[in-house]
Homo-oligomer: A and B are copies of this chain.
Amino acid sequence: MAEKIPKPVSKRLVSYYMCLERLIDEGVEVVSSEELAKRLDLKASQIRKDLSYFGEFGKRGVGYNVEHLYNAIGEILGVKKEWKLVVVGAGNIGRAIANYAVMREKGFRIVGIFDNDPSKIGKEVAPGLIVKDVSDLERFVREEGAEIGVIAVPADHAQGVAERLEKCGILGILNFAPVKIKVSVPVENIDITAALRVLTFEIVRRSR
């Protein structure tokens, strides 16, 4: 079933999951598709349709049991206790990621951070996390069983790092470098400058 889910649906599933997480924190037990729609700025009909991919979770006129739906979507998403991440690049972005507590809370644990700059290697950049020489990357990934690689190196090094990560068995890549990388494992890109370009385009468009 999960094989057929289109990308926009999987992105929305993630947003439902995160919204339900907040609802649980707020002590909410039952939620309607209308309330979810309001919180997520989507149409209720869209939400009902998406969730119908996975069978019926809601009761008409009553709503969805928050915890049940949360667990069901979590299972679909393959949420597990812990994913092990390595960060390549100990510059500003790499260090920020290494210190980003929210990730840890959500089950994404940084097990190693790497750089090729001798002035950075050996420095502790987050509690318990000392920058290692990137020449040690492959051995470390294999020994630690790291699953996700975070690329936080300059654009012209990103493809090379991605290929090294792929070869040593990394299952997926989160790429902060402002460049498209080509590997056979899944990649998610976070491009801050691109987001700013989309934002300013929207600003200019509204002012016209």
Interface positions of A (Cβ within 8 A of B)? 2-3, 5, 10-11, 13-15, 17-18, 22, 39-41, 76-79, 83, 92-93, 95-97, 99-100, 102-103, 106, 108, 147-148, 155, 171-174, 178-180, 182, 185-188, 190, 192-208
Contact = CB atoms under 8 A, between A and B. Distances in A.
A186 B172 contact: no
A156 to B, nearest CB: 10
Nearest to A193: B106
B106 A100 contact: no
User: Oligomeric state, in number of copies?
Assistant: 2
Given A204-B78, A206-B186, A97 B174 contact: no
Given A202-B172, A205-B78, A197 B14 contact: yes
Given A41-B182, A194-B15, A2 B205 contact: yes
Given A15-B194, A18-B197, A78-B200, 8 more contacts: A78-B204, A102-B178, A106-B193, A148-B203, A174-B196, A187-B199, A188-B196, A188-B199
A147 B206 CA distance: 14
Contacts of A22: 155, 179
